[in-house]
Structure 1
């Protein structure tokens, strides 16, 4: 397989077959540099050398009734984490101001739980309105669990730019990961935010015992959903969770997965997300030749590396931080919907 030739075909509009996608995962480890370079041809075409920075604020932690096997915040998890109700509006606003000072393009307000109450939605709405009036050129992403169409419209009116709700895994593997909600519940939330005119963000967690076929199905499912931003998480097993003993990923395996998502979703923002430091380790730099976005700082319940290390990583690669998160979208949401 000539990965470079396949990349050029993708740039001309070709859509890989599922068998070709699986070949990426089955490629020889010795060929990893040629695969990365081919995926970079696609990334460079749409995003140049720009890297988008994202920051999470854990606005509500723990207290979640769901049984997701990977999650330290699940009611089933026996973990020692901070547990608290929704933080104050002012704390959310101040977090956005600090994020902007640190070159963050997208500020992600994340809440644990199955779905938000109307009061919680109102608090986030009020915070977003203040952020939009006081902080220039920062994109707001909300991640609040399952939301109704009505709630989605309210969030859009407040100025929420993007809403994250991951499919996490394939429809086939979903019941092995959680039983307290269905795969279709997740898809419904994504469709609700799309109807409201909010840019959809949806991604996956790899390394949860899924098959190669499952990973291919995830990539194509997100293509079908037309998610604008795709966070690719790699399981960072946490003691006390159902998946605490799973540690099946290698750095090269992670690179192949990133290449797969770039080939299948060529125009989309691909973000290396949770588990980046734990799984990619010394090969994090190669990941950015395929992904064009990362989280900076800590994740919800696991630690990330220092922000200065990420800034240095980007600089060493000859890449540059995206100053204006709105200016290099490969395709605006308005054009699509």
Structure 2
């Protein structure tokens, strides 16, 4: 067992592998150890990513209308959440939305569509969008997130210029049946494998705060390590009204930091993204989380609003970090609460997205 979190970080920098006992200690750390934990995780973060923050931008190509029953999702079958619902954006609309994020500093655009998985026609549709996007912005990375892939679809996306494919494991294998019954954990693992085999960078992560135990969380993080995910988005449950998990507030800002630190220690050189729900769960500790995570989504999410894009950029600059430019060079970002015993204290309900893709209003970028 390590003597301090800094000792553990030094061990990781020397090539050590995080053990289950180590992971348990991170999640069980006391509040008065939190700053030491963050500082130790920051040693790993800076060793591999210096002072850069990778900015990603989401474009929701198709919203709602999903036949899957994932309990956490506002787009699920039977969801009563009052989200935007629309079918596929036109290629020019998708390009316009993506350009907004790129102008704001995004070096990766994430093209997302709801549903179990794409048809071959859907893949062709996205391929056309990607080719147009790459023509206009050749240095920007494109990540597709279209659900469970069939044979050959990853190769088609790669040929069109897609750089990465996102498909989250979300939780542990033992916990998966509790959050979804219309597909299984193995389907997700196979899709990540197909993306890797096609030469796409695998992006796979978590949703935390769904009632998983610490042991299940560790299982999920270690599974991502074994999977070899190049980037790990950590989403914090947004408990939309009208979904089975509405009213589920199980996270504190401090525990969110512990979870991010766990991922950083388990996967020291992997891009770690603080993703959906960071505003409502990390709250005032978001800038501190940047010392652990080296990536975030700018502005709005798929069906909910994030904090203002300029506020994100100001936060990056204020914390002493720089935005990673598409070509890999760092450029300065645009300048411009405390934890408690109750997980529900200070909660802010998800703000339904009413701007950007699928509307006539400008996006938050």
Q: TM-score, normalised by structure 1?
A: 0.95
State the match for 2:362 in structure 1: none
Give 5+ residue unaligned stretches, structure 2. 331-365
Is 2:144 the counterpart of 1:139? Answer: no
Tell me the distance in 2 between the aligned counterparts of 1:78 and 1:310: 30
1:191-238 Cα shifts (integer Å, max 9, x gaps) = 000010000000000000000001111111000000001000011110
State the match for 1:210 in structure 2: 212
Tell me the distance in 2 between the aligned counterparts of 1:103 and 1:185: 34
Tell me the distance in 2 between the aligned counterparts of 1:248 and 1:284: 18
Is 2:163 the counterpart of 1:188? Answer: no
Q: Compare 161-170 and 113-122 and name the one that shifted more.
A: 113-122
The 1:325–1:19 alpha-carbon spacing in structure 2 relative to 1, beyond 3 Å, is: farther
| 1:26-41 correspondence runs (5 A) | 26-41=28-43
Tell me the distance in 2 between the aligned counterparts of 1:246 and 1:325: 41
Which of 152, 155, 159 is equivalent to 2:157? 155
Determine which structure has the larger helix proportion and give its number. 1
Tell me the distance in 2 between the aligned counterparts of 1:324 and 1:197: 20
1:117-160 Cα shifts (integer Å, max 9, x gaps) = 11111111011111111113211000000012300000000000
| 1:249-288 correspondence runs (5 A) | 249-288=251-290
State the match for 1:228 in structure 2: 230
State the match for 2:341 in structure 1: none
Tell me the distance in 1 between the aligned counterparts of 2:318 and 2:299: 19
SS of the residue 1:149 aligns to: coil
C-alpha contact 1:51 1:319 (8 A) present in aligned 2: yes
Which of 80, 91, 95 is equivalent to 1:93? 95
Which of 52, 55, 76 is equivalent to 1:53? 55
Alpha-carbon shift at residue 325 of structure 1 (Å): 5.6
Which of 113, 130, 133 is equivalent to 2:132? 130
C-alpha contact 2:57 2:98 (8 A) present in aligned 1: no
C-alpha contact 1:52 1:325 (8 A) present in aligned 2: no
The 1:319–1:326 alpha-carbon spacing in structure 2 relative to 1, beyond 3 Å, is: closer
Alpha-carbon shift at residue 76 of structure 1 (Å): 2.4
Which of 322, 328, 331 is equivalent to 1:320? 322
C-alpha contact 2:106 2:326 (8 A) present in aligned 1: no
1:137-194 Cα shifts (integer Å, max 9, x gaps) = 2110000000123000000000000100000000010011011100000000000000
Tell me the distance in 2 between the aligned counterparts of 1:250 and 1:156: 39
1:271-327 Cα shifts (integer Å, max 9, x gaps) = 000000000000001110000000011111121000111111111111100012656
State the match for 1:22 in structure 2: 24
SS of the residue 2:306 aligns to: coil
C-alpha contact 2:231 2:273 (8 A) present in aligned 1: yes
| 1:102-141 correspondence runs (5 A) | 102-141=104-143
Give 5+ residue unaligned stretches, structure 1. 329-337
Tell me the distance in 1 between the aligned counterparts of 2:323 and 2:208: 26
Tell me the distance in 1 between the aligned counterparts of 2:161 and 2:110: 13
Tell me the distance in 1 between the aligned counterparts of 2:191 and 2:140: 24
